[in-house]
């Protein structure tokens, strides 16, 4: 695979908003598709070679890894927003300072978390009520994944920051490289094909570890070979020793952002615990459903990333009129794209599910029922993501956190627990659209009426234009699209 010509990002503060958002989101969507396709292919190998018990084990382990990512991922998102705003102001040195600080914080944090996760993996799996027959498999898989956490997080950080600088194409190429290596090595290491050792489920995790290390090293070499804007040279290497203001900004904004992921992760862990109590077949069905849900949420995540990058650059440039229109375009595009994907998944769910499970498995019927009740919630999820992406681009991180806490716990988990004695397992599946409805409604209310426009990421007010617009009582131009 050969990367395209020299890419130095793009200015997201000019041109057609809808076209720019689509063009920017498409490579991000492609990278997300590749990443999720890689996970699905790996799940197919695990399910086919090792059976339903191994499939249940990877479902439990993957939710835990999402929890671990959340502990350090917020720093990367905070740095990405700082980079985007700096690029919008045409301040390349500030962008490099933010990138250097983020690298130090994310790599350092992931090393600590990876070590602690490896040590306490058995306790974590027991807290999750992992089924007994899946426990040894989940432990072997999870411990290898923890070893690869620093490389995984650095790869994600570098890709995210490149998008913040306006370059969505380079991350696509190197995600493709990681997918090729991971998908190719999985069956070889699981089953011991040729000269490779037979490692079972640990082989799947080892393939991921190798792929991420190769991809992050190759991406770093590519950044320097093409002399891309965020590379550090000479005296700029000192930016890897973050200064006090940047540390306070990245940590102060990054912790609430990371906490949002933790809220979603712990909610997922709670739900996984409830599902595990329904037996291995339902756990396997839920695992397959989660594989399909990764594709359902991909358009929302790609569009949200595009909205965040565009909003951050335009906020840095003081183009608040464009920020409002970016949000409206993001909502409209998300509804159209995610709605189409939901329809396709519902139409063709059974053929896809037989890739993961035998056609006669009773788990397929359970998984199809889950899809029917829950999958449409991702349209609302995507709308909430757009609102969150916009307000976070100006440093508003506490309100989205509070919204997610309410939507995930009193609403989603509360409904599942309260209604399970009444309607049985369906209470778990109905809780997803109910939680997304609450999240979307509250996110819209904060976007429309909250004071997020007067905030700042870096502790120095960048947007006197924002206060001017507010004083003039300007209504968000994008809201007509959002509610139509």
Residue whose structure tokens are 């439990």: 60
- Tell me the Cα Rg of the chain: 22
What is the per-residue burial (b if ≥16 Cβ within 10 Å, else e) of 442-456? bbbebbeeeebbebe
Q: What is the full DSSP assignment across 340-401?
A: HHHHHHHHSHHHHHTTTS-TT-HHHHHHHHHHHHHTTHHHHHHHHHHHHHHHHTTT--HHHH
Q: What is the DSSP letter of 132?
A: G
CB-based burial, 321-351: b 16+ in 10 Å, e otherwise: ebbbbbbbbbbbbbbebbeebbeebeeebee
| C-alpha closest to that of 33 among 399, 360, 294 | 294
- Would you say how long the chain is, in residues? 484
Distance CA(58)–CA(50), nearest Å, equals 11
Burial environment of residue 480 by CB neighbours within 10 A (0 to 12, 13 to 18, 19 or more): middle
Q: Could you report the per-residue pLDDT of 310-369, keeping only the tens digit for each?
A: 999 999 888 888 999 999 999 999 999 999 989 988 888 788 787 777 767 778 888 889
Neighbours of 431 (CB within 10 A): 27
pLDDT tens, N- to C-terminus, the chain (484 residues): 444 444 455 678 888 899 889 988 899 888 878 877 777 777 777 766 666 666 666 766 676 676 667 666 777 788 888 888 888 888 888 889 889 988 888 888 888 888 888 888 788 777 766 666 667 777 788 888 888 888 988 998 898 888 888 888 999 999 999 999 988 898 888 878 888 888 877 788 899 899 999 999 999 999 999 988 888 888 889 888 877 788 888 888 888 988 887 788 788 878 888 888 888 888 888 888 887 887 788 889 889 988 988 999 999 888 888 999 999 999 999 999 999 989 988 888 788 787 777 767 778 888 889 988 999 999 999 999 999 999 999 989 999 999 999 999 999 999 999 999 999 889 999 999 999 999 999 999 999 999 898 876 654 334 333 333 333 333 333 333 332 2
> Would you list the DSSP string of 69-116?
HHHHHHHHHHHHHHHHHHHHTT-HHHHHHHHHHHHHHHHHHHHHHHHH
Give phi and psi for 198, each to the nearest 5: -85, 105
pLDDT of residue 406: 96
Q: Based on DSSP, count helices (H) and strands (E) in the chain, helices before strands.
A: 18, 0
Q: Which two tokens stand for residue 377?
A: 């919630």
Q: What pLDDT is attached to residue 52? A: 63
Three-state SS at 455 = coil
Classify 32 as helix, strand or coil: helix
């Amino acid at each position: 695979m050969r990367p395209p010509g020299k890419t130095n990002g793009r200015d997201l503060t000019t041109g057609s908003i809808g076209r720019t958002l689509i063009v920017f989101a498409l490579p991000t969507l492609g990278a997300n598709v590749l990443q999720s396709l890689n996970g699905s292919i790996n799940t197919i190998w695990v399910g086919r070679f090792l059976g339903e018990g191994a499939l249940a084990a990877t479902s439990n382990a993957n939710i835990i890894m999402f929890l671990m990512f959340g502990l350090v991922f917020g720093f990367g998102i905070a740095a990405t927003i700082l980079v985007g705003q700096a690029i919008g102001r045409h301040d390349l040195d500030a962008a490099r300072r933010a990138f250097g600080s983020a690298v130090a914080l994310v790599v350092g944090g992931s090393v600590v978390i990876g070590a602690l996760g490896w040590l306490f993996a058995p306790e974590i799996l027991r807290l999750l009520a992992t089924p007994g027959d899946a426990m040894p498999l989940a432990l072997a898989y999870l411990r290898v994944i923890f070893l690869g956490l620093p490389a995984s997080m650095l790869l994600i950080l570098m890709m995210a920051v490149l998008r913040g600088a306006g370059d969505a194409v380079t991350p696509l190429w190197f995600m493709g490289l990681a997918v090729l290596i991971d998908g190719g090595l999985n069956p070889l290491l699981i089953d011991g094909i040729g000269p490779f050792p037979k490692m079972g489920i640990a082989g799947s995790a080892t393939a991921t570890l190798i792929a991420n290390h190769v991809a992050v090293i190759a991406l770093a070499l590519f950044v320097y070979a093409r002399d891309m804007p965020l590379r550090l040279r000479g005296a700029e290497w000192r930016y890897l020793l973050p200064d006090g203001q940047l540390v306070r900004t990245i940590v102060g904004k990054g912790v609430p952002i990371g906490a949002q992921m933790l809220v979603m992760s712990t909610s997922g862990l709670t739900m996984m615990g409830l599902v595990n109590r329904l037996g291995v077949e339902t756990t396997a069905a839920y695992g397959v459903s989660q594989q399909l849900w990764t594709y359902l949420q991909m358009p929302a995540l790609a569009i949200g990333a595009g909205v965040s990058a565009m909003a951050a650059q335009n906020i840095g440039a003081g183009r608040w009129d464009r920020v409002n229109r970016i949000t409206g375009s993001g909502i409209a595009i998300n509804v159209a794209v995610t709605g189409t994907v939901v329809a396709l998944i519902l139409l063709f769910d059974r053929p896809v599910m037989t890739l993961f499970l035998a056609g006669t498995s009773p788990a397929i019927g359970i998984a199809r029922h889950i899809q029917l009740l829950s999958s449409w919630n991702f349209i609302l999820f995507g709308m909430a993501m757009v609102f969150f992406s916009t307000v976070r681009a100006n440093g508003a991180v506490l309100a989205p956190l509070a919204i997610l806490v309410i939507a995930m716990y009193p609403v989603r988990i509360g409904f599942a627990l309260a209604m399970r004695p009444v309607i049985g397992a369906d209470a778990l599946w109905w809780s997803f659209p109910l939680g997304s409805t609450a999240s979307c409604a509250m996110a819209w209310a904060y976007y429309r009426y909250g004071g997020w426009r007067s905030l700042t990421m870096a502790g120095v007010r960048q947007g006197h234009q924002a206060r001017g617009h507010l004083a003039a009582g300007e209504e968000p131009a994008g809201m007509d699209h959002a509610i139509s």
